[in-house]
Amino acid sequence: MEKRISTSRIIKFLWLSFVVGIMLLALFFYAISKGWLGEMPTLEELENPKTNLASEVYSADQVLLGKYYIEDRSTVSYDEISPNMVHALLATEDIRFYEHAGVDIRALMRVVKGVVTGRRAGGGSTITQQLAKNMFPRGERLSKPKMVLRKFQEWVIATQLEYNYTKNEIMAMYLNIVTFGSNTFGIKTAAKTYFSKSPAELGMEEAAILVGMLKAPTYYNPVRNPNNALRRRSVVFSQMKKYNFLTPSAYDSLNALPIDMSNYQRQDHKLGLATYFREHLRGDLKSWCKTHYKADGEPYNLYRDGLKIYTTINSQMQAHAEEAVTEHLGKELQPAFFKHWKNRRFKHPPFYRLSNKEYESIMTSGMKRSSRYYWLNHRGVDADSILQNFNTPVEMRVFSWSGDIDTTLTPMDSVLYYKYFLQVGMMSVEPHTGYVRAYVGGINYTHFQYDHVMVGKRQVGSTFKPFVYASAMQELGYTPCTKVPNVPVTFQMPDGQADYTPKNSDDDKEGEMVTLKWALANSVNFISAYLIKRVGPEKVISTARAMGVKSDIEAVPAICLGTPSLSVYEMVGALATFANKGQFQKPILMTRIEDKNGNTIATFSSEANDALDESTAYLMLSLMQGVVDLGTGRRLRFRYHMNHPLAGKTGTTDNNSDGWFMGLTPDLVTGVWVGAEDRSVHFRSTSLGQGANMALPIWALYMQKVYADEKIKISKGNFERPPGFDIELDCKKLDEESAADPANSGGANSIDDINF
C-alpha cells in the first residue's frame, strides 16, 4: 500500500513538474514577447522594419541610372526573384522552410545531438530566424547568458514574422536584407553587381554562387577568392541535387562550369551614365529632403529611405551624347591639342603667353583645389611640407582617353598634366516641355568633378548675338531680310573712358548694305554693334532675362559680342524659346519622387512665361537657319550631310578660349561648350579653336545618333510657321522685287539712304 502511494506521488510530482515546466516555459516566452527580459521589436516595427534602402534614380525610359545610399540596398518582390535563387537557398539553408512556423524542431534536435556527440551536423537556424537576426541585429558582443537569451528572442521574433507575413514575403524579405559583400546588400544589387542581371534573370550557376556567399561573403567572394567560391558553389549544387532541384546529369554539367565574372561591375556613383547629372541632382534632392516630411514627422533621408526619383533624362540620348563627346573630343580634338603644343618653344605650355608670376599663381591654385592638398591641410601639415609632398614622385593613376594609366609623377606634374585636357559641357532639352534629355557635365567624373553644365560659366561669344537680334526684331520691326550698314559703330563711354568701336573678324562686305540673315550667318560684329546701339543694352538684357538667363550681365555695349559669362544650362534653356514659339520653358531634371512603397510624394513641372511674340521667335529661327545654310555652321551640311531643317549659332571667344555651338530642331535644342579649365589654355589658331571646330562636331555626331535611333522619335521636319505669318523670308526674291520696283523696296538699299 505504501509503495502504491509512493508511486502515485512520484507520478503526480512528475506531472506537476511537467505542467509547471510548460507554464514556466510559456511564461518565459510570454515575458520575452512583451519585452520584460529585454527590448523587443513592436508590431509596427515588424510590419515596417527599418533598413537602409538606397534611393534609386531612373531615366524617363525606366532605366536605373544610379543610386544614393549608405548601404547599397534595393528591394524586390518575390515574383521578381528567379526560382533558381529560391531553390538554391532552400536546399542550402532551410529545406523545410514551407513546413515549419519559424522554428524547425527537427533541425534543433539535430544541433543538440551534434553537441552531445561532438559531431557537427549543420545549423539549426531557419531562414525566418536568420531574417529576424538580420532585421534586429545583436549589436555589441554578448556574454554567453545574453547570447542564449538573444537566441530565444530571435525564436519569438521569427514566430511573429511568420504570423504577420506569408512564406513568400519572408523569402523576399530575407533576400532583400542579407549582405553579399563589397558593400552590396540585397539580391537586386548583388545580381546587378556580380552578373549585370536582374534577380529574375539569374541562372542556376549564378544563384549557387550568391547563395554560397551567404555563409561568409568575403571568404566565398567569387572576385576576391574564386577558388573558395568554386568549392562553395559545388556544395550548393550537391544540396540541390540531394533535394531533387537538380538532376544528376544537370549537376555534373553545372559543376564542371568555370566561374564567369566577366560581367562583374562594382557599383560606384562615379561610374555609369549621366554621372554629372546624378551628382547635381544629389544636391537638389538633399535640399528637397530637408523640407519634406514622412508620416512620423521626420524629414526624408536620401540615403536611407529608398526613394525612387524619376528624371527627364532619356537613357539612349544620354548614351549618344556621351559617345559623341568621346568620338570627337577623345579621338580627334584632344590628340590634335596635344600635337598642337608638342615641342613648341613657349615658356609655359600649354599656357599661352603667361608671365612666371601668372603661371605660378595658376599652378598654386590648381594644387590647392586638389583632394591631396585638402587632406594634407586638413591633417594640419605645414605649407612647406605640403609643397615638398607635391614635388616628390609617387605612384598614381591618371586619366587618359585610352583608359587610366598607372605611372609615377610628382603631384605637381599631375596638376600640369591635367591642365592639358579640354573639357565639355553639353545639355539637350525638349523645347515644348522643358525636359532635359541629355546632360554631360565633363569628360570623366572620376578625375574631373567640376560640372560644366550647371555650375561652370564661361564667356558665350557670338552665341549671345541671338538675344541682340531678337530684341531688334521685336522692338524695331526688323526681319531677316532687313538691310543695315556693315560699317564700324562707335560708342561714347562714360566717366572719361575711351570710345568703344567693335571690330570685325574679317572685312567681307565692309561698307555695304547687308541683310540681318547674312550678318548673323557670318557673325558680323559691326551689325551686332549697330543693333545694340538702336535698342540699347538694357533692352537686350531684358530679353535675355525673359528667356531665362539669371546670371549677372553688365549693361554695356560690349555684350553684343558675347562678353557675358553664362552656363550651358542657361543658354540651352534660353535659345529653346525660339523653338517653342517664343515661350520660355524652364529646363527641369525630375518629374516625380516616390517613397519606398511606390506612393508619389512629389511631382515637378516646368515653369513657363511668354518671352517673345511668336512671329519674332519664328523670324529668329529663320535667321539661325541661315547660320547652318550660309555661315559658320555650314559644315553641318557639307561634312556631316545633315540636309533637313536646322537652326544654330556658333560662338568663339577671345584667344579661342571657348568654343560654342547651339543647335535647334523642332523637337530638341542642344548646346555644347568646349574649352580648357583655364582660359589661358587654348589653341593658338582660330581654325582649330573656333566653335565650329571644337563644339559643332559633337552636336553633329550626337544628332546623327539620335536620328538613327529608331527608339527615339525626333522630327526632321521644318519649324512650325505661326498662323497668319506673311513675312517674306526669301531675301533674293525681295531683292528681285526691289530691283523691279524701287519705290516698293520697303527700306534702304545703300548706305547713302541711311540717316545717321
* 597-630 pLDDT tens trace: 899 999 999 999 999 999 999 999 999 999 999 8
Q: What is the mean pLDDT of residues 274-301?
A: 94
Q: What is the pLDDT of residue 572?
A: 98
pLDDT digits (tens, 9 = 90+) for 263-281: 888 777 778 899 999 999 9
Q: What is the pLDDT of residue 232?
A: 94
**CB distance 321 to 686 below 8 Å:** no
| First-to-last C-alpha distance (Å) of the chain | 142
Q: What is the mean pLDDT of residues 560-584?
A: 97
Q: What is the pLDDT of residue 159?
A: 75
Same domain, 75 and 161: yes
Task: Out of 229, 247, 267, pick the residue that ends a domain.
Answer: 267
Distance CA(721)–CA(123), nearest Å, equals: 76
pLDDT band at 165 (very low <50, low <70, confident <90, very high): confident
Same domain, 116 and 236: yes
**CB distance 671 to 647 below 8 Å:** no
Same domain, 255 and 356: no
Q: What is the pLDDT of residue 50?
A: 65
Q: What is the pLDDT of residue 737?
A: 72
Distance CA(313)–CA(698), nearest Å, equals: 19
Q: Does residue 754 carry a pLDDT above 50? A: no
Q: What is the mean pLDDT of residues 505-517?
A: 85
Average pLDDT over the chain, rounded to whole?
A: 87
Same domain, 120 and 245: yes
Task: Out of 419, 443, 473, pick the residue that ends a domain.
Answer: 419
Q: What is the pLDDT of residue 619?
A: 96
315 within some domain = no
641 within some domain = no
pLDDT top residue among 154 and 121: 154
Q: Considering only CA atoms, which of 266, 275, 214, 269 is closest in space to residue 239? A: 214
The DSSP bridge partners found for residue 484 are 514
Q: Does residue 668 carry a pLDDT above 70? A: yes
Distance CA(667)–CA(317), nearest Å, equals: 13
Q: What is the mean pLDDT of residues 166-192?
A: 88
Q: Name the H helices within 143-274.
A: 144-164, 167-177, 187-195, 204-213, 226-242, 248-255
Output the domain CATH number for residue 165: 1.10.3810.10
Same domain, 150 and 106: yes
Same domain, 120 and 243: yes
| Number of domains the chain contains | 3
Same domain, 9 and 114: no
295 within some domain = no
Helix axes 568-579, 614-630, angle to 10 degrees: 110
Q: What is the pLDDT of residue 744?
A: 53
pLDDT band at 105 (very low <50, low <70, confident <90, very high): low
Task: Out of 267, 297, 330, pick the residue that ends a domain.
Answer: 267
Q: Does residue 37 carry a pLDDT above 70? A: no
Q: What is the mean pLDDT of residues 44-67?
A: 81
Distance CA(714)–CA(428), nearest Å, equals: 13
Q: For residue 326, give Cα distances in angstroms to 120, 195, 269, 331.
A: 59, 26, 20, 7
**CB distance 396 to 380 below 8 Å:** no
222 within some domain = yes
Q: What is the pLDDT of residue 281?
A: 96
**CB distance 486 to 526 below 8 Å:** yes
For residue 580, give the 3-state DSSP assignment. Answer: coil
594 within some domain = no
Task: Give the residue numbers spanning the domain of 415.
Answer: 351-419
Q: What is the pLDDT of residue 352?
A: 87
Same domain, 126 and 178: yes
Q: Which of 86-95, 180-189, 310-319 has the lowest mean pLDDT?
A: 180-189
pLDDT top residue among 179 and 608: 608
Q: Does residue 70 carry a pLDDT above 60? A: yes
**CB distance 530 to 513 below 8 Å:** no
Distance CA(653)–CA(565), nearest Å, equals: 11
Q: Does residue 124 carry a pLDDT above 70? A: no
pLDDT top residue among 506 and 370: 370
Distance CA(671)–CA(728), nearest Å, equals: 29
Q: What is the pLDDT of residue 21?
A: 59
pLDDT band at 499 (very low <50, low <70, confident <90, very high): confident
573 within some domain = no
Q: What is the mean pLDDT of residues 690-696?
A: 95
In the chain, pLDDT over 70 holds for what percent of residues? 85
Q: What is the mean pLDDT of residues 154-174?
A: 81
Q: What is the pLDDT of residue 34?
A: 47
631 within some domain = no
pLDDT digits (tens, 9 = 90+) for 533-545: 999 999 999 999 9
Distance CA(649)–CA(696), nearest Å, equals: 9
Distance CA(267)–CA(265), nearest Å, equals: 6
Q: What is the pLDDT of residue 412?
A: 94
Q: What is the pLDDT of residue 504?
A: 84
Same domain, 21 and 116: no
Q: Does residue 216 carry a pLDDT above 60? A: yes
Q: What is the mean pLDDT of residues 487-493?
A: 90
616 within some domain = no
Q: What is the pLDDT of residue 735?
A: 75
Same domain, 12 and 80: no
Same domain, 152 and 242: yes
Same domain, 89 and 177: yes
DSSP assignment of 428-472 = EE-TTT-BEEEEE-SS-TTT----TTTT--EE-GGGGHHHHHHHH
Flag whether the pTM goes above 0.75: yes
